[in-house]
Amino acid sequence: MAAKKAEQALVDQWRDLLALHARTQCELDRALHQHGLCASDFEVLDVLAAGSPRGGSGSAGALRVQEISERVHLSQSALSRLIARLEKDGLVQRCMCEEDRRGVRVVLTAKGRSLHGEVLPVQRAVLTRMLAN
């Protein structure tokens, strides 16, 4: 009986976590929409603005698509479409990886860096409101 209650408590905790994530994602999408972004767009811009955690070589602030993928939790195809859209909007630029010609690096443009700086307080305010307990 105690094991069943402990198991149910884990399931309840998991569902609460999923619900909080969904509510927060919706709030982020709503707040960022007025800036022409969705939460996933901003996440990519934010990861690029933070740069490589390993201080990789190549263009300053440029990250390989694989590095971005590991940090934003999108499928490779969804991330590729998102990056293409951000590039079309002039927010990021793709370039070949100098050390591996098969790889692609992504870097913020001046426009992307400016938009990120403008929207960062909006995103952080939503996170504070939704997650601060």
Reported as a single tens digit per residue, the pLDDT across 63-90 is 998 899 999 989 989 999 999 999 999 9
Fold of 2-131: Arc Repressor Mutant, subunit A (1.10.10)
Reported as a single tens digit per residue, the pLDDT across 18-54 is 999 999 999 999 999 999 999 999 999 999 999 855 4
Task: Please report, to the nearest 10 degrees, the dihedral formed by the alpha carbons of residues 71, 53, 61, 95 taken in order.
Answer: -60
pTM for the predicted model, two decimal places: 0.85
Residue type, 84: A
For residue 62, the SS3 value is: coil
